[in-house]
Amino acid sequence: MGDTQVWQGPGQERGLFSLSELAAPHIKSLTTRSVELFHDARAHDRPLEGLIVGILFTRTSTRTRTAFTAGAVRLGAATIGYGPGDLQLNTGESIADTGRVLGSMLDALVARTAGPLDELRELSRQGRLPVVNAMAAQEHPSQGVCDLATLALAFGDLGGIRVLYVGEGNNTAVALAHGLATVPGARLTLATPAGYGVPERELRAARHRAGTTGATVEQIHDLAQAPPEADVVYTTRWQTTGTAKPDPDWREAFRPFHVDEALLNRWPRASFMHDLPAHRGDEVAGRVLDGPRSLAWTQAAMKLSSAMAVLEWAAAPR
């Protein structure tokens, strides 16, 4: 009868969905490996040789899509890319049926979809294959790995690192909170406009974990309450990819959180980070983004090595 495979029912979900689910040593290992691959993108033995990785993006992406596609190829895999109009999901096929089909043909899937994180878990279970969350509404975990790796590259040991995040409590902020909560002595202050903070459930989970490591995760809604010391000031675009704000006057709430030279100079030794894309004049001034204290472009380049580290961990045969 040949090697025809018959679907055997859903399996256990595998892959990267949220940093809150990874043990601290795993997060540290991904961080360290990202830095290693940043220094030498060929420091591996092509662990994905012979594998096929699907790259599904139903939302716009420059860095993340390119990083995972190039990273998979560098690790030895072939890739199949899917855009927003390519799959029969658009005609009503279910996530479960889509997962079954993709799992019969692919070895791993990297996905950014318009739906909730549970859809990615369902794709993994039904397809019985590892799935990497390349950004969902709730969290952007691969960005979190990239951010920790960028910090490690710039500062070395992250113990006691002090990060001030300024802006919307979006999926990048959630990943940053879950990641830094695993770092002993780290202090993350999330300065967000009232009504646009990190969701309470995510904040509570990060604070609980931080309590076990000696880290601190706090949220404020007024920059006058920001801590006097910071090693990094971090912001993201105000309009998160694929989302819209119901309040037509939302920009008024965000204006006090614009990162210009005057704000950054409150912390004269602090570096600046931004996950990009950036809107100069909105969340950040051009002189900050492109200035000598900016790590944003190193951070962007780190997307490739962190994607490789995640793929190596999630998709390579064990």
Q: In what order do the strands lie in the sheet with 108-112?
A: 14-16, 130-133, 108-112, 52-57, 78-82
> pLDDT-derived band of residue 4, with 50, 70 and 90 as boundaries?
very low
| Token pair 């029969």: residue | 88
Which domains occur in the chain, in start order?
Answer: 14-138+304-315 (3.40.50.1370), 141-300 (3.40.50.1370)
pLDDT of residue 5: 57
Burial class (CB in 10 A: 0-12, 13-18, 19+), 210: buried
CA angle, residues 188, 190, 195, in degrees to nearest 5:
160
What percentage of the chain carries pLDDT values higher than 70? 97
| Spatial contact of 271 and 232, defined as CB atoms under 8 Å apart | yes
pLDDT of residue 115: 81
- What φ, ψ does residue 274 adopt, rounded to 5°? -155, 130
Average pLDDT of span 185-210: 97
DSSP code for 280: B
> pLDDT-derived band of residue 2, with 50, 70 and 90 as boundaries?
very low
Closest to 188 in 3D by CA, of 167, 208, 160: 160
CA distance 84 to 239: 20
CB atoms under 10 Å from CB of 123, counted, come to 26
Does the predicted TM-score (pTM) go above 0.85? yes
End-to-end Cα separation, the chain, in angstroms: 28
Which residues, 6+ apart, have CB-to-CB distance to 19 below 8 Å?
27, 139, 141, 144, 145, 175, 178, 179, 182
> pLDDT-derived band of residue 247, with 50, 70 and 90 as boundaries?
confident
Residue 1 has pLDDT above 50, yes or no: no
Average pLDDT of span 188-197: 97
187 DSSP β-pair partners: 162, 216
